[in-house]
Amino acid sequence: MKSFGIHIEGLRKRYGEGDTAVDALKDVNMTVAPGEVVGLIGPSGSGKSTLLKCLGAVIEPTAGRMTLGDEVIFEDGWKIPDLRALRRDRIGFVFQAPYLIPFLDVTDNVALLPMLAGKANGEARKRANELLEALDVGHRAKANPSQLSGGEQQRVAIARALANQPPVILADEPTAPLDSERALSVVRILNEMAQQFRTAIIVVTHDEKIIPTFKRIYHIRDGKTYEERGLGAA
Amino acid sequence: MISLAGRDILHSWSKFVLTGIGLGLLIGVTLTMAGVYRGMVDDAKALLNNSGADIWVVQQETQGPYAESSSLRDDVYRALLAQPGVSRAANVTYLTMQVRLGNADVRAMVVGFEPGQPGEPGYLVAGRQITRSHYEAVADVKTGFQLGDTIRIRRHDYRVVGLTRRMVSSGGDPMVFIPLKDAQEAQFLKDNDAILNERARTTANPTLNRPGVPGLLDAILASQNANHNVNAVLLQIAPGTEPEHVASGIRRWKHLQAFTRTQMEEILVSKLIATSAKQIGMFLVILAIVSAAIVAFIIYTMTLGKIREIAVLKLIGTRNRTIAGMILQQAMGLGLIGFMVGKTAATVWAPFFPKFVLLEPGDAVRGFIVVMVICALASTLAIRVALRVDPATAIGG
């Protein structure tokens, strides 16, 4: 199993040029070890989403350095030619809403990623079912997403994020639509999955309920990150 | 790899099926329009084939008897029979008119023919051929007449003794066959008031009613009331004879126009129904554009409804070509459903059309290809939108 973390140094992102330029990220430094879950907290407009988009390789940072495991993926430009494959194979995404594909059943929602990566259908579905069992939604494998509760949908989304065994998962407010019990359940699952698969997980959140569960928290303010020891055991 | 398009269609099958039915009815109308044109061409060919003629002889400088009016003396056929290569010759008249059955009128082409000669109905589906010299008729089944019906043509009643089919004019009017003499009278004989009026005019004309010339006026009056004209003479030629050779001889020496079967087919198909064909062609173009617009709108709307899913798919690494393929396959699937519904609908409703609708397999194949091409083109707008979706939109903020 791959066992990478993510390391970010001096990451900057500037939108526009000249007088109208806006520095969304000014100096972002962050390290997340394999198997670790860290929180990323900040007010609206602080640069959380921009950071996630940079980490998710959907927008290009202006400067800085990003390392995934022992491989530099960004330094004065992308070092990986195929960003689509990078996102598919090495970065998992969990969104605020699950955004499951409504016309695929639960198994295929999860199996889609390994299939996109070239795995055979049978192998991909086997992997999907293993993950669904691990996340305690194996009994809903043949259901449509619309038939699941919010918590179940989010667990399926986590399974999808894990499907290609990525070294890093970016979770964008994954507990926002959930009540306290389910929100804490999702965090517990993320922690378990991080441990089990040695995945580095960054959770962007505003959710006061789950903030205390993080062992380390990064605050982002005015485009800069500040690390803080958390109260949690993660 | 699973078929995203197939899964999406299965997931929202009712939307696809209902849309496909709507599109299918439009395609059905398109196929029917093509069938109407094919039917007109086939009717024209059937008209020529069933007449049994190899050459049509008509008035000089006309393209009669179907495309233009033509008038010949009814003794011309004798001279034509004497032409080398001609084996049979027969007079015929054609007149489109209202034929009355009870209180209802039926528009029909009344054909005057000589029984046993070229021009008689080729085959009957019921009853018998005309055997009496007057007042019997054979009608195409499309007239709606039944055996034994009494129909009225001009001032005489005729009994329907036989029924034929696929005998219609180039305008689609069903034919009613009556004896030649009756048809000549129906076409050329004036009404009684007009005859009386004409006699009075002739009698009052001193040039025609000269004193001291007994019998002149009677001869002129008899001539005015006689019906010695026909519209065409149909010729059959001897085996091994070249039709154009015979026709050119008639044109050269008899001062008449003669058309071979090929030439007559050209007149019927390329000239007589050319305007109708253009009309139908315009309908086909408009229907194709409307179909394309409908498919484009539906696929575009469906794609807009999936923007977030498309963004997620792109974010998690789905290739653009996979997403484009999904949309293209959906458009093609819609076209396939539409075509199946349309073909079925056209086949079901074609027999109920008053004119012959000929649905040729070749047209169906061409129609299918056109539908698929239209659907593929119509999906480009939606594909363009999908490919422009930024995967970053899947991430909030």
B-chain residues near A115 (CB < 8 A)? 1-2
* Mean pLDDT, rounded, for B91-102: 91
Contact A87 B391 (CB under 8 A): yes
Interface size, chain A vs chain B, as Cβ–Cβ contacts under 8 Å: 84
B85 with B238: CB under 8 angstroms?
Answer: yes
> What is the rounded CA–CA span in Å between residue A69 and residue A71?
6
- Average pLDDT across chain B, whole number: 89
pLDDT per 10-residue tile (average), chain A, 234 residues: 73 89 91 92 86 90 91 91 90 88 93 91 93 89 92 90 90 83 85 88 87 89 83 57
Phi, psi at B277, each rounded to 5°: -65, -40
Helix, strand and coil percent figures for chain B, each rounded to 5: 55, 20, 30
* Mean pLDDT, rounded, for B150-154: 92
> What is the rounded CA–CA span in Å between residue A217 and residue A211?
8
Contact A115 B1 (CB under 8 A): yes
A112 with B322: CB under 8 angstroms?
Answer: no
Phi, psi at B82, each rounded to 5°: -80, -10
Is B157 an 8 Å CB contact of chain A? no
State pLDDT tens for residues B190-202.
788 888 898 899 8
> What is the rounded CA–CA span in Å between residue B305 and residue A175?
25
B59 with B288: CB under 8 angstroms?
Answer: no
Q: How far A103 CA lies from chain B's nearest CA (Å)?
A: 5
Q: In this model, does residue B65 exceed pLDDT 70?
A: yes
Tokens 């010299």 found at: B133
CA A105 to chain CA centroid, nearest Å: 22
A121 with B2: CB under 8 angstroms?
Answer: yes
The one-character DSSP state at B168 is B
Contact A102 B322 (CB under 8 A): no
The pLDDT of residue A4 is 54
